[in-house]
Structure 1
């Protein structure tokens, strides 16, 4: 009876070893599948983000062009034109700079990016307000569709930002950046804010007898709420 016990235990050990090897292979496969270090170009990414995070020179011209394209697209109720403005807009550059400054604890990069991002937002709102005040256009469906953001829009921003970080840090070029620019675009909502401010100014200057309900609606549009 004692001589049979090693033979009985041997198959059990083989099964345990097989399961252990299978588990190790699965873990290795998952690590390779989700490996973010492969293809990372840390030094070049930092240099590129710091170089492009300022809204000046060509970026300033691109900003003005994207504001006008987005405003025209909203007026024309044209999704294609608005998408074009999303792709032209350089607003993602200072946003990436903010993320880089936080990630590597670089206060100078963070403050410079925040300053240029704030300047870009003010330019976008001022320019779009001037455009819509002069144009005196109607509220199109494209404008109305950007007046009530939800939690889902926040999730789009989170996952879009994650995709942008992964794509921007790769050595090889990626097709994800244009998709991120479209999914997380700030330019159309900023121009909608300009539309709301322009309409408020027009009502205040030329229609002092307007109802409080109309004022409240335009304030909601201006605040994108």
Structure 2
């Protein structure tokens, strides 16, 4: 059976005065006296009457005044959320309906002792933000469209600023970030829920989230993933860090406004501290169940591995975010070494090129798709083409020239070996496998572009390198060359030109798509080789004309 307090004061303001009648006439036989905050302050100061329970409804400023009084005087608090106070409802699991809300506010056995966080001695109920935090600092009651619109607008002029964070154990963290956020409870903010970040009102710690995106593109990716994902928190962004401590001092190179619960309240430097279990508040069932065990969360915690540090701080600070991020130096170095090796001509390349062409030519004469697919898997042409894309993007002459020589040698070997093989099979008729490569269309260009994206993407990540074989099958490079070689051996110019057009379609499509993919993945700060890219685009346009008429 639910127990209720015997009597209580109801503290109201102009926005909540209409609740007085409902409270006074409550069905729980609780004696309610409606007074303004000044009357409560007078009674507590006089000490003439013991006050055990106070119900409050109104502005956040009024609620904070009651909390401050409860910190000095041990009375319980029942909260009534007004219809527009969604954050208050979410944080304390309050009911949006007045009857259910009054029921919870007047109960005698659901009070929970909660911590209070102060930023420069200003009380914080939900969150405090410093700097710019697109999306993360959004109001919890914002629609998805409003979140996306506001976040995108804020990203335009966002930049990383130098910050220094000092914990209660005197550990210092120097980094740069676009902003940071103090969170009182994960139920009260979109940020914590989106990131799967848990903090509690009884953990005895200040919880700080630090956001340091390296590009607008990566941040927009996170926004879309957060808005569209049903399972929030499954994938925490790599550009977010966190600090949990009993005290955190936040300092910045320039004075920044500190917004506490939606209002500018102070500026940096700011001392954030926690006072443990200083108020008793009636909170809902779910909020009570989600409170973390204080014995397991007392330890200070720093999760800052993803934040800029060392030389990165000086390199990134006070610069506007690029649209695309720059790949980490180690990751770029690993990829570039692999691409440089792929661009070098070696004996194995010559052998595989000859074997794959001979196998493809025989498969074409046998009209066997299985044999042709085997030739695609053997063909080593994809690697130097991807290397050429990076060489053009980075304007690396050595990589570009080596890749061109390797591709050129491969083309020469394929055409000559397949043309010579025609002498052996001169009596064999034209097969459907050959004819299928004599009518290239825009669809083939589409396949090449998608394959180029896949090739560059798989090459960029070692863990998915095995996917490159599938890309080689998806876009055939050697079979069209083999058909073109057969055309040369037969002295059929149309046969040669149509098959070679298909090869050029694949070649140009892969180069351009791989180039743009490497750019998006951050392997170049800008498209340096504008002339080279222009030539590739021009070749694509020239190829598109005959493909269009074939389509």
Match for residue 486 of structure 2 among 178, 189, 195: 195
Are 2:50 and 1:50 aligned?
Answer: no
**Whole-angstrom distance in 2 between the partners of 1:134 and 1:22:** 71
Q: Which has the higher strand share?
A: 2
Deviation at 1:30, TM superposition (A): 5.6
The separation in 2 between residues aligned to 1:92 and 1:160, in whole angstroms, is 10
Q: Distance in 2 between matches of 1:170 and 1:83?
A: 25
Give, in angstroms, the shift of residue 92 of structure 1: 1.0
Shift in CA distance, 33/60, structure 1 to aligned 2, threshold 3 Å: farther
Confirm whether residue 17 of structure 1 aligns to residue 137 of structure 2. Answer: no
Q: For residues 22-66 of structure 1, give each alpha carbon's deviation from its aligned partner in whole angstroms, at most 9, with x where no partner exists.
A: 59947163696999979x932221111111223321111111111
1:1-150 to structure 2, matched below 5 A, reads 3-4=14-15, 6=58, 10-14=82-86, 16-19=139-142, 20=147, 25=194, 27=223, 29=225, 41-136=331-426, 137-150=428-441
Deviations along 1:67-120, whole A, 9 cap, x unmatched? 110011001111111011101111112101101102222111011111221121
RMSD of aligned C-alpha atoms?
A: 3.1
Distance in 2 of aligned mates of 1:33 and 1:149: 44
* SS in structure 1 at match of 2:141: helix
Cα distance change of structure 1 residues 121 and 34 upon mapping to structure 2, 3 Å threshold: farther
Instruction: Verify the 8 A CA contact 1:41 1:171 in the aligned structure 2.
Output: no
Q: Secondary structure at the match of 1:190?
A: helix
Q: How far did 1:196 drift? A: 1.2
* 8 A Cα contact 1:67 1:128, kept in partner: yes
1:133-168, Cα deviation, whole Å (9 max, x unpaired): 331121101000001111111111111111111111
Q: Counterpart in 2 of 1:160?
A: 451
Q: TM-score, normalised by structure 2?
A: 0.34
Report the Cα distance in structure 1 between the residues aligned to 2:409 and 2:465, rounded to whole angstroms: 29
Q: Which protein has the bigger helix share? A: 1
* CA spacing shift, 1:157–1:34, aligned 2, 3 Å: farther
TM-score (norm 1): 0.80
Q: Which has the higher contact order (CA 8 A, sep 6+)?
A: 1
In 2, the alpha carbon distance for the partners of 1:191 and 1:101 equals 27
Partner of 1:176: 467
4+ runs deviating over 3 angstroms: 20-26, 30-38
Partner of residue 493, structure 2: 219
